[in-house]
Amino acid sequence: GRRVASHPKSRSRFIIECRSTSSEADNIHHRDGHPHPMKISNYLIYWRGEHKEEYSQSFRHLEFLSALSATIADHYPNLTIDAPSILQQLMDGATFANAFSFDPFKKHKAKLPASVPLHQVDMYNESLQYVSFGNIANKSHGVLDEALISQDLVAKASARCSLIHSSYLVVAEGMEYSDLVDQALRSKAFDDMSESETVAHQNSKTWRIRRHEYSFVNDENNPRFGKGTTRSVKKEKSALQQLEPLLISFKGKVDLKNPECNIYLLEGICDNCVTDSGPKGITRIEDSKLLKILARKISSGAKVSVMAPKTRICITNTPLEPIAAFILCNLASIRENDKVLDPFAGSASVLLAASMISNSVRTVGIEIASDKFLSREKVRQDFSTRGLSQPLGLLIGNSMDSKIREEARKLIGGSEFDAIVCDPPYGIREAMSGSDSGYGG
């Protein structure tokens, strides 16, 4: 029953597992004659961007599905299958499909600016994805059903994922704002926002709407796009005016800082949305009509920045990067009240991430470096200053020694650990000589 996750030197196995579910995306294009992707799911995930090409992209699906399997197992303790089995069925049955897409190699389509490298096209295409669980029941022989995967569970799983920026509940999509208004009113997705006049006004939810447009980071034709800007106030104002038939039905007040309902208008280029125009049939991307998605935000991803190295009290030369720590804990499908061991704890980045995922976990760390090189007291301060439960023990010793492992088990009552999660010391970046040799972590 123990689950083990360690920082892999090679990611090839995970790349195959994560990307295999995306194959259907290229085959989904038309609905009712409209040249835009078919909405195949109620859920949409906006993935966190990358500082370096393919630094974490290949782990996106696996981290989310692992987190979701743990969340499902916690919510339904009487299921006849455990979290690892749930994960396998999610991997077999879940489908990810790109919401926006652009193929620079298709003829008679918008021309890709010379300033945009090809790898940015892939990053753009996979930045926002629909998630479907419609095939789960067939893969699990009815043990796990799509109906069991509620909005609350998707939101909870998203909130613990380091590679998710935001997750949404899809309300409507189309090429025209009028399409969004019609679909939203028919679906009654905002019934909780447009209560009748007889209901007390204070019961109506506060709300906010934002328009985000997606493009390529280095697009010289759209200089306002980049790491810090995806909004145009002028275009947002125009969009709101066209959504007025829907927005006037909302009875609650607008709250731009902390609304109860966050509504997003997400727009981006879709390969089949581009029309031929201009000289030689070439269209500039920004002149093309954009696919529009109206959605309600249900969750933000994990706040990994709160445990960034520069925020830590215990500082080592080579701390484990927060995103990597969260990925490892999610791959181990850490659950509530789990007993978690890191046999190469270092400054306890993994244990911090585990506690941030669920503060009910009971953690133990083993680290060979003595307090001369790594202050256990400062490690504990990193937990207390973040309001997290203290580790049951931060042991000094070699985890290869059976005596130190037995001491670790005694801290949890002599039972087995539910998960062993670690970043093994490869001895490449940091090493110390003498009897007090140790490793960063």
Extract the tokens encoding 100. Answer: 């926006």
User: Percent of the chain having pLDDT more than 90?
Assistant: 55
Give 266's contacts (C-beta < 8 A, 6+ positions apart). 44, 46, 99, 128, 168, 212, 214, 292, 293, 294, 295
Out of 43-47, 184-188, 234-238, the most confident range is 43-47
Structure tokens at 185: 């009113």
Q: How many whole angstroms separate alpha carbon 194 and alpha carbon 343?
A: 54
Q: What is the overall mean pLDDT for the chain?
A: 81
Contact by Cβ (8 Å): 74, 418? no
Give the single-character DSSP code of 321.
P
The model's pLDDT over 412-432, given as tens digits with 9 standing for 90+, comes to 999 999 999 999 886 555 444
User: From CA 226, how far away is CA 217, in angstroms rounded?
Assistant: 5
The total number of residues written for the chain in this structure: 441
Question: What tokens appear for 3 in the block?
Answer: 């689950």
Return the minimum-mean-pLDDT range out of 2-16, 151-165, 269-283, 359-373. 2-16
Quote helix, strand, coil % in the chain, to nearest 5. Answer: 35, 20, 45
Considering only the C-alpha atoms of the chain, give the largest distance between any 2 of them, rounded to a whole number of Å: 78
Which of the four pLDDT bands, split at 50, 70 and 90, describes residue 198? very low
pLDDT at 54: 72
Q: Is the pLDDT of residue 349 over 80?
A: yes
* Span 360-385, pLDDT tens digits: 999 999 999 999 999 999 999 999 99
Q: What angle do CA 232, 296, 299 make, to 5 degrees?
A: 100
What is the model's pLDDT at position 268? 86
pLDDT at 72 > cutoff 60: yes
pLDDT at 25 over 60: no
Helices within 290-424 (DSSP H only): 322-331, 349-357, 376-384, 402-410
**Is residue 8 over pLDDT 80?**
no
Whole-model pTM? 0.83
> What confidence score (pLDDT) does residue 265 get?
95
How far is the C-alpha of 230 from the C-alpha of 121, rounded, in Å? 16
Report the distance separating Cα 337 and Cα 358, nearest Å: 8
Stretch among 213-227, 284-298, 403-417 having the lowest mean pLDDT: 213-227
Which segment of 59-63, 143-147, 167-171, 242-246 scores lowest on mean pLDDT? 143-147
Return the percentage of the chain with pLDDT > 70, whole number. 74
Report which of 6, 112, 94 is spatially closest to residue 45, judged by C-alpha positions. Answer: 94
* For residue 225, pLDDT beyond 50: no
- Predicted local confidence at residue 171, as pLDDT: 95
Q: Give the position of tokens 């492992």.
A: 405
For 284, the 3-state DSSP assignment is strand
